Structure 1
Amino acid sequence: MSGRLGTMDPTTAGVPEPALSTSTVRMAPVPPVVPPRDGDTPPPPAAPRKESGVRIEIQALRALAMSLVVLYHVVPLRVPGGYVGVDVFFVVSGFLITAHLLREVERTGRVRLAQFWARRARRLLPASLLVLVASAVATVVWVPQTYWQGWLREVGASALYVENWLLAGDAVDYLAHTNAASPAQHYWSLSTEEQFYLVWPLLVVAAAWVAVRAGVHRRLAVGVLFGALTVGSFLYSLATTVSSPPDAYFTTPARAWEFGLGGLLALVAATPPEGREKLRTLVSWAGFGAIAYSAFAFTALTPFPGTAALVPVLGTVAVIWAGAPRWDWSPTTLADFGPVRFLGDVSYSAYLWHWPLVVILPFALGHEMGTTAKLAVLAATVVLGWATKVWVEDPVRTGTPLARRGNGTTFLATLVATVLVVGCAAGGWFYVQSEVDKARAAAAAYAAGGDPCFGAGATDPANGCGDPYAYEGDAANPIFAKSDLPQGFSCLSVLAETDVVTCRFGSADPVETVALLGDSHTASLYEAMETVAERKDWAVVTYMKAGCPALASSQLPAVGQPAEERPACGEWGEAAIQQIADDPSISRVFTSYRSDVYRYEDESGALHAEIPADLVAGSLQRLADAGKDVTVIRAVPTTNGFHPGPELVNLEASAPDCIARVSGTDDPCAGPRDVRLSPDRIVQAVEELGDDRISVLDLTDVFCDEQTCHELIGGVIVYFDGSHLTATFSRTLGQVIAQRV
């Protein structure tokens, strides 16, 4: 997951809500005029300003951070590190919340938790829930049903403010991490912040309680606690950035240190220092510069947060510490510029709206966004942000009966609104699930009836079927196809694991025991081999690892495979082949890969598409020398991200998503054979070997005719994504394999 955006990309980032209403933080008194020292330029007279209670440097940080996040999502190549806006907001939130809580403790000796949480609810939830509802409605209106279940799941998680934990789990799930980004994905950062709002006041209360009983100053107790948590969180963040990047990026413990640094700043410097205008000017520019540097120098490949996050975080700390210095060339003039203050004011609602626009607009248009559409997104983001602040945020927070009634009323209204949103999302999810269940039952009925024209058998002329590519039957439901995952995926070794995970199925007293060896594309043949095993009275043992060919796997990395995963891949491949060779009960080995994603890495580290025959010969011939019959199944065609028609190009790489957009016509998403059928480099290497003990099984004719490769065959959708077979089609493919073996 890691790129920062998209399918399950961690920097779908931004938290434009820095905790407190600006009216709650007062500017420090304007210091008296001090005569200049020799060599100093006297400061210009301060511009007359209304006492608005707004710290303009914090408003500028809000405006900058929100702009960076929005631009990153709209034009990511222009602002490749714009995701650092999230770090800016975390620091600002930590500072404002801590300053507010400390003032209350020092004034009253306690924190009114119910009042604090009620204010947060009135400030954040109305706009948040409004955008979630709008996103759900827009999804139903414009987005294919194949997306509904996953997206509504995230809408519900966002309404409950646990989206960050959901995304962290999905990011390490081999099947979920490639999901298309939902319109609620950006709520991960808001979820992190809400969790902070829940826990942070409790820590202040606990520290104050300890201080009273230990006879120490409250600030000392709070400082010790916050300091320990900040250091611990930072160390945890460093460790998980290496060991589990999704956890480091999304989870609250790995991000708490950013809030903590803001809190520590509030503890020691709640207001900017008086005087020292020249120093403060330099520090403020340095802080803004650090944030800007991060936004343009960091990329999706930057390990993040880790130590890299220190740059925007410390930059934000510097800007807040410096305040709004009044000196020649100070950033204060720019920070106090009307449009900057306006963007700071609307930053929360603008952030909420921008990402649903980015995600859903291409579906509404029917094509990817061009320059005009991107400009429209930027304009709509600002307009919707302003309208929501004026007509939703401010009235609910200050001008409605809800704001004037007790905290209990706020909590009750919050509970009711949240339950309604979550309930509607759950209702949509269950509706989609009912459609999936109906299609699954239809597929099972066809399979049980032994219809030879159902699925792969429809392409066999001997079966006398009609049009093999007709769109007919309840089983050809794209929603069902997208969830029709082979059981083999539960048998995969994944990521950096080296243990050989095996599954066994088929006859308990087999005529033969065969091994199924390969990567995730081999796993999608699970049901096919299950069918073969039933027909031939075989037992099958699987040896499979995602993104890893067992053949010389240390020298055949997958495109984009992290370097740290390669040693584990090689170790696993060696162990799997050795286990098969040493098992006397195994008489046959079937192996298959999506070989076009693997590259040969030579001694210099250069990658080559062509795979030398002797590179794969060692592994295959070891199995043959151990007395195994070896069959290499040619890689099946894939969509290769191509679908016909300008309205579909680059919008869906998934067969079910494409078919859902244009369903009702025969095989609407078929594509040219020369695009869909990539060269199988491993099969080419096997054929060069010329070893009679190693054969090739080519199933291309099931998927493709002379010009076209198909995605809908015999009333069954072939792929659940862009390259892996659905369980239903795999099961019908087993009939063909059984005939040809």
Structure 2
Amino acid sequence: MNQPLINIERKFRPEIEGLRFVAALLVAIYHIWFNRVSGGVDVFFVISGFLITTSIISTINRTGEYRFWPYITKLMKRLLPSLFFILGIVLVLSWFLLPKSIMSKTIREVFASMFFYQNWQLAFSSTDYLDSSQMKTPLEHFWALSIQGQFYLIWFLVFTFILFMIKKYRLTKVKTLINTVLGILFVSSFIYSIYLTAVNQPWAYFITMTRVWEFALGSLLCINLSSIKINKYIATVIGWLGLIGLILTGIVFNVSEMFPGYIASWPMICALFIVLSGTRDTKYGVKRFLASPVMVRLGGISFGIYLWHWVLLEFYRYNVQETPGFFIGTFIIISSIILSFLMTRYIEEPIRSSNNNKFAFKRLGIIGSVNVLLIGSLLIGGFIGQTKLEQNITAENYPGAVAVNNPNAIPDQEPIPAFSEVFHDLPKAHLDGSNQGLKDSDIKIGEYGKTENYDATIALIGSSHSEHWLGAILQATKDYNYRVLSITRSGTRFSTGYTDDDLKGIWNKNVLEYLKNADVDLIVSHATASDTYKHKIHQQMVNQLQYVKDEYGIEVLAIRDDPRYSFNVLESLETIGLEETAKRMNSEENQKDESFWRQFENENKSLHTIDLTDYFRINGKFHPVIGNIVIYRDNRHLTNTYSESFGPIFEEKINEILKDV
């Protein structure tokens, strides 16, 4: 190509470097002191779109072609040194400073981060980025880096397609073509982001497709910046408006629940204002501040600041206290800056600036291999510990829930599951994929027990608070000729309280449609939610169960919800111990459905009921471990092992109901 693909200015934009530091600093500040999302990551995405598009267009203008290997090697030399180095540090520190209960999750996320799919790892594991009751690994913030890596590959394909079209059809309106392609990506991703944020925000927050529009905005800005002319006064005003608006994003909006929908355009427009403002040199413009030598230098290490701050914060939280004070938080930020500077200078720059790819990739290979060896060592260590514990397990030493009847007769043993296994001690329906996630409204049915020539069918229906009783039901029915069905959807109660156009409401409707002609003799479902005082919510659950009983003639066993807590019981158990965790549990009010449940039991309404609350207490006090079995895997969900220990209790109740069916 004799002519440039498109005329753009490729020059160093110092104010963008300063903006990158502001974005990184905001992310750290909001994470450390406010446990909120700042919108800084969205600014990173816009800037990344702007810069990578500038680089791509410049390469094509200079060489007339666009080849994969030079493109990808340059990116790998830029991203992998810091990534691999921090992952190695995290693996080493995890052995000494991280609770064992979060170790396997951390190892999976290390692997996901190494191969740039951490965002999908978090999405599929139903992670809520800022839910304090979920145990956090030191690597959850790597989701943004994974999306960035995926975006770079997507943009290579996009511009390869554009260049192919230009050459094949000898197109002359290149700028129009690029704007059209990027515009289509922007609009389609933006619409999808708005839709998915409305119906399934936790999923939308992490996946790639809902974030493409943010990168596309930066790219469109790059393509069209030279055509946008503003005077100095407007540049001054919009620059400061952009910076102030960006700083206030996390205060004005509840970003963790509203992003990446249309509200995410706020920090992105703020970033756009700042970049536009930087096209003019003004005496009092924001460019003078952001382009100052100190801000430019800090912007150059902002990538490392973002990566380090969360690592330091999470290790501090697990080993000292949940929320850092002002001085500790400031120390974390300063430490992140220092570590980023050292890492950039001695790890990243020697590899990134090397013209010898063999030298660069040899170093990357060494660091990556060390990480793989560390992962293997941690996995082997965990396996050995688990094996030793399993060798000592007997039914007499680990009775679980039934131990509340005679707690003093049970000798103290190391509790099971081992802390390293508790997080993944899930019911069968979760492990085999029968549990319906939040992404759609179709029903999935897990079938267990006797699947042919059975005497009766038991269907477990509801949210994860029904699902975690599957272990108890399977244990109760193992010696009987019963079929057991699991029909559950995460975060979705079996209730009349949803609208017809809501995915949860549609799922409920689909379940009712299935039950209309299903061969089901008994439905088991939780009938209250112990995290709310709202009578209406409890009644809507009972109404749904009563409808099934009255309309379909199916027997119903309604379970009172298990006690819930504002903190992660497993994390507390491992970090502050059994006695302190028990005190913390008993200091909270966990009987929010008490009055409703007593009224419900008295009225009965032809439904069978079961209240298992006493099996979470010893001598009237709640405990995190009963019968040498860990009860909770987070702040509200039972371990499958503890659920199974309810087998004899459910066996008696189920047979009492089914004897007359």
Q: Same fold per TM (> 0.5)?
A: yes
Corresponding position of 2:509: 571
Residues 719 and 93 of structure 1, relative CA distance in 2, 3 Å threshold? closer
Q: 2:10·2:58 contact (CA, 8 Å) conserved in 1?
A: no
Q: 1:470·1:713 contact (CA, 8 Å) conserved in 2?
A: no
Q: Does 1:720 align with 2:654?
A: no
Corresponding position of 1:66: 24
Residues 255 and 689 of structure 1, relative CA distance in 2, 3 Å threshold? same
Instruction: Tell me by how many angstroms 1:596 deviates.
Output: 1.3
Instruction: Tell me by how many angstroms 1:131 deviates.
Output: 1.4
Q: Does 1:455 align with 2:413?
A: no
Q: Deviations over 1:178-222 (max 9, x none)?
A: 752321111111122222333434543443343233223484354
Q: 2:436·2:443 contact (CA, 8 Å) conserved in 1?
A: yes
Corresponding position of 2:574: 660
Instruction: Tell me by how many angstroms 1:689 deviates.
Output: 0.7
- For structure 1, which runs of at least 5 residues remain unmatched after alignment? 1-23, 28-53, 642-649
Corresponding position of 1:414: 364
Higher normalized helix content (fraction of residues):
2
Corresponding position of 1:704: 617
Corresponding position of 2:410: 468
In 2: Cα distance, 1:353 partner to 1:301 partner: 21
Corresponding position of 1:595: 529
Q: 2:455·2:481 contact (CA, 8 Å) conserved in 1?
A: yes
Instruction: Tell me by how many angstroms 1:721 deviates.
Output: 2.8
- For structure 2, which runs of at least 5 residues remain unmatched after alignment? 1-7, 657-661
Aligned pairs, number: 641
What secondary structure sits across from 2:297 in the alignment?
Answer: helix
In 2: Cα distance, 1:430 partner to 1:229 partner: 45
In 2: Cα distance, 1:298 partner to 1:73 partner: 15
Corresponding position of 1:3: none
Instruction: Tell me by how many angstroms 1:696 deviates.
Output: 3.7
**Amino acid in the other structure paired with 1:424:** L
TM-score (norm 1): 0.75
Higher relative contact order, chain-length normalized (CA < 8 Å, sep 6+): 2
Residues 685 and 123 of structure 1, relative CA distance in 2, 3 Å threshold? same
**Amino acid in the other structure paired with 1:522:** S
Q: Deviations over 1:523-581 (max 9, x none)?
A: 2222222232234554444454444443xx224x7xxx9994553465357557x54xx
Residues 426 and 599 of structure 1, relative CA distance in 2, 3 Å threshold? farther
Name the Cα RMSD after superposition. Answer: 3.9
Corresponding position of 1:51: none
Q: Deviations over 1:328-383 (max 9, x none)?
A: 42223322334423322321111111110111111222554233321221221222
In 2: Cα distance, 1:597 partner to 1:233 partner: 36
Residues 726 and 253 of structure 1, relative CA distance in 2, 3 Å threshold? closer
Q: 2:404·2:618 contact (CA, 8 Å) conserved in 1?
A: no
Q: Does 1:480 align with 2:393?
A: no
**Amino acid in the other structure paired with 1:597:** D
Corresponding position of 1:526: 470
Alignment partner of 2:79 out of 95, 114, 124? 124
What secondary structure sits across from 1:186 in the alignment?
Answer: helix
Q: 1:161·1:194 contact (CA, 8 Å) conserved in 2?
A: yes
What secondary structure sits across from 1:387 in the alignment?
Answer: helix
Q: In the TM superposition, what are the counterparts of 1:61-210 in structure 2 within 5 Å?
A: 61-76=19-34, 82=38, 84-111=39-66, 113-171=68-126, 179-210=134-165
Corresponding position of 2:222: 266
Alignment partner of 1:424 out of 370, 374, 387? 374
Alignment partner of 2:208 out of 239, 252, 276? 252
In 2: Cα distance, 1:81 partner to 1:172 partner: 15
In 2: Cα distance, 1:389 partner to 1:592 partner: 53
Alignment partner of 2:13 out of 46, 51, 55? 55
Residues 359 and 218 of structure 1, relative CA distance in 2, 3 Å threshold? farther
Instruction: Tell me by how many angstroms 1:271 deviates.
Output: 9.9
Residues 117 and 93 of structure 1, relative CA distance in 2, 3 Å threshold? same
Corresponding position of 1:391: 346
In 1: Cα distance, 2:225 partner to 2:178 partner: 14
Corresponding position of 2:651: 738
Q: 1:99·1:270 contact (CA, 8 Å) conserved in 2?
A: no
Q: 2:528·2:541 contact (CA, 8 Å) conserved in 1?
A: no
Corresponding position of 1:237: 193
In 1: Cα distance, 2:247 partner to 2:128 partner: 33
Q: Deviations over 1:247-305 (max 9, x none)?
A: 543333332232223223323336996x9433433443344344345343221365322
Corresponding position of 2:286: 331
In 1: Cα distance, 2:201 partner to 2:541 partner: 33
Residues 69 and 103 of structure 1, relative CA distance in 2, 3 Å threshold? same
**Amino acid in the other structure paired with 2:505:** P
Q: 1:671·1:710 contact (CA, 8 Å) conserved in 2?
A: no
**Amino acid in the other structure paired with 2:529:** S
Q: 1:172·1:246 contact (CA, 8 Å) conserved in 2?
A: yes
Identity among equivalent pairs (%): 24
Corresponding position of 1:620: 546
In 2: Cα distance, 1:69 partner to 1:185 partner: 13
In 2: Cα distance, 1:231 partner to 1:306 partner: 12
Instruction: Tell me by how many angstroms 1:149 deviates.
Output: 0.5
Residues 371 and 485 of structure 1, relative CA distance in 2, 3 Å threshold? same
In 1: Cα distance, 2:397 partner to 2:57 partner: 75
Q: 1:617·1:689 contact (CA, 8 Å) conserved in 2?
A: no
Q: 1:280·1:325 contact (CA, 8 Å) conserved in 2?
A: yes
**Amino acid in the other structure paired with 2:569:** S
Q: 2:249·2:267 contact (CA, 8 Å) conserved in 1?
A: yes
Instruction: Tell me by how many angstroms 1:73 deviates.
Output: 0.9
Q: Deviations over 1:24-72 (max 9, x none)?
A: 9865xxxxxxxxxxxxxxxxxxxxxxxxxx4222122112211221112
**Greater CA drift, 125-134 or 149-158:** 125-134
**Greater CA drift, 339-348 or 414-423:** 414-423
Q: 2:352·2:360 contact (CA, 8 Å) conserved in 1?
A: no
Corresponding position of 1:36: none
**Amino acid in the other structure paired with 2:50:** F
Residues 433 and 409 of structure 1, relative CA distance in 2, 3 Å threshold? same
Residues 683 and 124 of structure 1, relative CA distance in 2, 3 Å threshold? same
Residues 325 and 365 of structure 1, relative CA distance in 2, 3 Å threshold? same
Residues 313 and 547 of structure 1, relative CA distance in 2, 3 Å threshold? closer
In 1: Cα distance, 2:57 partner to 2:386 partner: 53
In 1: Cα distance, 2:126 partner to 2:500 partner: 15
Corresponding position of 1:309: 264
Corresponding position of 2:5: none
In 2: Cα distance, 1:629 partner to 1:228 partner: 53
Residues 167 and 341 of structure 1, relative CA distance in 2, 3 Å threshold? same
Residues 383 and 685 of structure 1, relative CA distance in 2, 3 Å threshold? same
Residues 700 and 246 of structure 1, relative CA distance in 2, 3 Å threshold? closer
In 2: Cα distance, 1:672 partner to 1:506 partner: 36
Q: 1:435·1:479 contact (CA, 8 Å) conserved in 2?
A: no
Residues 694 and 103 of structure 1, relative CA distance in 2, 3 Å threshold? closer
Instruction: Tell me by how many angstroms 1:597 deviates.
Output: 2.9
**Greater CA drift, 511-520 or 319-328:** 511-520
Instruction: Tell me by how many angstroms 1:404 deviates.
Output: 3.6
Q: 1:226·1:264 contact (CA, 8 Å) conserved in 2?
A: yes
In 1: Cα distance, 2:52 partner to 2:426 partner: 46
What secondary structure sits across from 1:252 in the alignment?
Answer: coil
